[in-house]
Amino acid sequence: MKRLLVVALVAALVTVACGNDGTPTATTDRGSDGLGSDSVLVDVVYISHIAGSDDVANDIAELFTDRPGTTVTLHDITTPGGQAFATEQNVSDKFAVLVNGSAEHFRDGRTITLTDFPSGRGTSDVPGGGWTFDDLRQLVDSLTASGLRRAAGAATGS
């Protein structure tokens, strides 16, 4: 219950502070550990008045809070900035997550399309898609220095 309260409080603060107008909501530096210099950009494009959209978008921002090398930006397409971003990126879905500019990724032998809500979170307005929060986390981890460190540690048993 406390965790749910903390997540709700953080989500509310992010929404109030950023207004979901395309301002990055969760940004961390990659650091200088020699594992690359490019950060992973996660852009969440959504319609705020659709039930559940704010919650899922904020859950994604929370997922990557304090993740080295990851920048999450929420784009509510009911705002001029969000609409401009969606148009620029050719996003026509009610909900989409772009990782480094693309909603479609090939990982572990399958194509993951990060449109619609994640599996298990669908509504009558936006169905649950063929992806999970874990798919998204693993994809982003595979592209960041922290993910490379975790993979190297697992391979060496440390």
Cα(15)–Cα(74) distance, rounded to whole angstroms? 9
Torsion of CA 80, 83, 89, 90, to 10 degrees: -150
Average pLDDT of the chain?
Answer: 76
Output the pLDDT for position 18. 42
Q: pLDDT, tens digit, for every residue of 26-79?
A: 443 333 333 344 589 999 999 999 989 999 999 999 999 888 889 999 999 999
- Using a 10 angstrom Cβ sphere, with 0-12 exposed, 13-18 middle and 19 or more buried, the burial of residue 57 is buried
Predicted TM-score (pTM) of this structure: 0.71
Nearest to residue 82, comparing CAs of 2, 11, 23? 23
The CATH number of the domain where 101 resides is what? 3.40.30
pLDDT band at residue 19 using 50, 70 and 90 as cut-offs: very low
Residue 24: predicted pLDDT: 52
Give the pLDDT confidence score for residue 37 in this predicted structure.
45
- Average pLDDT of span 103-108: 90
For residue 93, give its domain range: 2-156
| Domains: count for the chain | 1
